[in-house]
Amino acid sequence: MYLNQLSVFIENREGRLSDVLEALKEGKINIISLSLADTSDYGLLRMIVSEPKKAKEVLRDKGFSAMLTEVLAIKLSHQVGQLQVLLEEVCKAGINIEYMYALETGTDDASIVFKTSDLEKAAAILENTGVELIKSKELEG
C-alpha cells in the first residue's frame, strides 16, 4: 500500500546533484518522480525510484546520506477541485500533510505522492473515498 521514497541529503553546491544522478545511472536505477528542496547549505532530494533499496546502497557507497521513507501515492481523475476534496477529508481526521509532489505513472490520471502524519489512517480514508492507491509493484522494477 505504501511506496518507498528515497531521500538524499546533498550539499547545496555545484555538481552534487549531478553526482547523485550519475551514481543512480551507474546503478541502473530509474527515477520515476522527484522533488528537490533547498536551503542555503543543503538540498533534500526526494525520489520514487525503480529499486529503492538498491538505490539507497548505491548512494551510500558513494558517500551520500540516503534513507527510505514510506509514503502514499494516489491516482485521481483530472477534475477541478478533486485534490482539495480528498485532502479535506484527510485534514478533517486531524492528519497533517507534511509534503506532496507529482508522480508520473504513464496514465491519463493525475498522480500524487504525499507524506502524512498518519499514513495508515490517511490510506484508509482515501480508500473509502474510492481513490486508487498506487502500489510499489506498479512502479518498482
What pLDDT score was predicted for residue 140? 60
What is 71-139's CATH superfamily?
VC0802-like (3.30.2130.10)
CA triplet 25, 48, 133: central angle to 5 degrees? 150
DSSP, collapsed to helix, strand or coil, labels residue 102 as strand
Contact indicator for 74, 131 with CB cutoff of 8 Å: yes
In CATH, the architecture of 3-68 is 2-Layer Sandwich (3.30)
- Give 13's strand partners: none
What pLDDT score was predicted for residue 3? 92
Domains 3-68 and 71-139 are alike in CATH topology? yes
Task: Say what the pTM is.
Answer: 0.87
DSSP, collapsed to helix, strand or coil, labels residue 104 as coil
Domain ranges of the chain: 3-68, 71-139
What pLDDT score was predicted for residue 26? 97
Cα atoms found within 13 Å of the Cα of residue 130, Cβ hemisphere only: 3
What are the two backbone dihedrals, phi and then psi, of residue 72, each rounded to the nearest 5 degrees?
A: -100, 150
The answer on pLDDT for 1 being more than 80 is no
pLDDT digits (tens, 9 = 90+) for 76-115: 888 888 889 888 999 999 999 999 998 877 767 788 999 9
Q: Where are the beta strands (DSSP E) in the chain?
A: 3-11, 31-38, 42-49, 65-76, 97-102, 110-116, 132-133
pLDDT digits (tens, 9 = 90+) for 16-73: 899 999 999 999 999 999 999 887 788 899 999 999 999 999 999 999 999 999 999 9
Grid coordinates of 41? 547549505
